[in-house]
Amino acid sequence: MNLEVITDINDQRIEEFKGLKDNTLNARNLLIAESEKVVLKLLKSEKPVLKLFINEEFFQKYTDLISSKNCELYTGTKEVMESIVGFNLHHGVMALTHRPSHVNIDELDDRILILNGLTSPENVGTMVRNAAAFNVNSILHDFKTCSPYLRRCVRVSMGNIFNVKVHSTDNLVGTLKTLQSNGYQIFATANEEGALDLPGFKFPKKAAVIIGSEGHGIDEIVKKTADTILRIPINEHVAHLNAACSSSIFLYALTQ
C-alpha cells in the first residue's frame, strides 16, 4: 500500500478536493470529510471511503486503519497541499466518500432529535455532535433545514454524522403523525406561556424532541401537532437560548 504523490494541482485524480460546491458533490452523491479528527471518525465508521488525500504524517500514524478501507491513496507536494482551498481547516487530511443514504422512518431509534427550519450549518453540525454525545443517534429534519451532510456541517459535527441515522422529510407534520401512530410522543420546545418546565420532566420510552430555528422558532403548525411543549426556565430578560445550546440541554434531559 503506497501513497501516490500528486505534483500538479490540476491532476484530475484530486478534482473532488479542489473546492467543489456542496450542490455539485450532492448531485454526484459524494461527500468530503476534512481534518484529521473528522477523517479519523470516517475511517473508524462502517462507511466506505473512495479516496484519501492525506499528508505523510497521517498515513504513517494510521496505516493499519487506512489499509482496511481499500481506497485510492494520494498525497501531494507542499505546494499542492497548500493550494487546496481551506488548508487552514483540513491541514492536508481529506477523504471522499459516498453521501450516506437517508434511513426509513421505521429504522429510527426510540429517541429522536427533530430539526425544523434550521438553516445554519454551524448549528446543524453542532446539534449532530450534541446528539451523538448523548447517544441520541437518530436525527430527522425537514426540507427547510440544511442537510447535515454539507461539508461545513460534517466538519462542525467533528465527523459524528458518520455514526448517526438521518431521515429527511418534505412533510414534517405528516411524519410527526406517523411517529405518533408508531407510539412516539412528540415534544416541541419553546419559551412561551403554558409550556412545561424541563427540570423534573420525565420523558417516555419513545420520544422525539423538536428544535426550531433561532429566528422563528418551531413552525406553528408543527408545534400544534406536538403532544407537549417544553421550555428551559431562563432569565426573563433573555428571549431564548441559541438553538444548538438548547438542543444540548434537551438531549441531556431526554437521556436521563
- Report pLDDT digits (tens) over 111-146: 999 999 999 999 999 999 999 999 999 999 999 999
Mean pLDDT of 71-99: 83
How many domains does the chain contain in total? 2
- pLDDT for residue 181 is more than 90: yes
- pLDDT for residue 191 is more than 80: yes
Cα–Cα distance for residue pair 128/75, rounded to 1 Å: 30
Cα–Cα distance for residue pair 65/43, rounded to 1 Å: 7
CATH of the domain at 12: 3.30.1330.30
Regarding whether 197 and 109 lie in a shared domain, the answer is yes
Q: Which of 63, 98, 133 is the last residue of a domain?
A: 98
Mean pLDDT of 55-67: 93
Regarding whether 113 and 236 lie in a shared domain, the answer is yes
- pLDDT for residue 27 is more than 90: no
pLDDT tens by residue, 206-246: 999 999 998 889 999 999 999 999 999 999 888 788 999 99
Regarding whether 222 and 154 lie in a shared domain, the answer is yes
Regarding whether 79 and 114 lie in a shared domain, the answer is no
Task: Give the model's confidence band at 85: pLDDT under 50 very low, under 70 low, under 90 confident, else very high.
Answer: low
- pLDDT for residue 86 is more than 80: no
- pLDDT for residue 20 is more than 80: no
Regarding whether 125 and 232 lie in a shared domain, the answer is yes
Closest CA to 228 of 198, 256, 196: 196
Regarding whether 119 and 82 lie in a shared domain, the answer is no
Say if residue 221 is exposed, middle or buried (CB neighbours under 10 Å; 0-12, 13-18, 19+): exposed
Average pLDDT, the chain: 93
Cα–Cα distance for residue pair 59/2, rounded to 1 Å: 9
Regarding whether 93 and 123 lie in a shared domain, the answer is no
Q: Which of 65, 98, 131 is the last residue of a domain?
A: 98
Q: What is the pLDDT of residue 104?
A: 97
> Which grid cell sits at 81?
497541499
Closest CA to 246 of 108, 137, 131: 131
Q: What is the pLDDT of residue 116?
A: 98
Q: What is the pLDDT of residue 21?
A: 79
Q: pTM score, two decimals?
A: 0.92
Q: What is the pLDDT of residue 82?
A: 80
Q: Which of 44, 71, 98 is the last residue of a domain?
A: 98
Q: Give every strand in the sheet of 228-231, ordered side by side.
A: 165-169, 138-142, 111-116, 207-212, 185-189, 228-231, 196-197
- pLDDT for residue 89 is more than 80: no
Which structural domain, as residue segments, surrounds residue 85?
Answer: 4-98
Regarding whether 111 and 31 lie in a shared domain, the answer is no
Q: What is the pLDDT of residue 171?
A: 98
CATH of the domain at 190: 3.40.1280.10
Regarding whether 176 and 74 lie in a shared domain, the answer is no
Regarding whether 80 and 137 lie in a shared domain, the answer is no
- pLDDT for residue 105 is more than 80: yes
Q: What is the pLDDT of residue 87?
A: 62
Regarding whether 207 and 184 lie in a shared domain, the answer is yes
- Which segment of 3-7, 11-15, 23-27 scores lowest on mean pLDDT? 23-27
Q: What is the pLDDT of residue 88?
A: 64
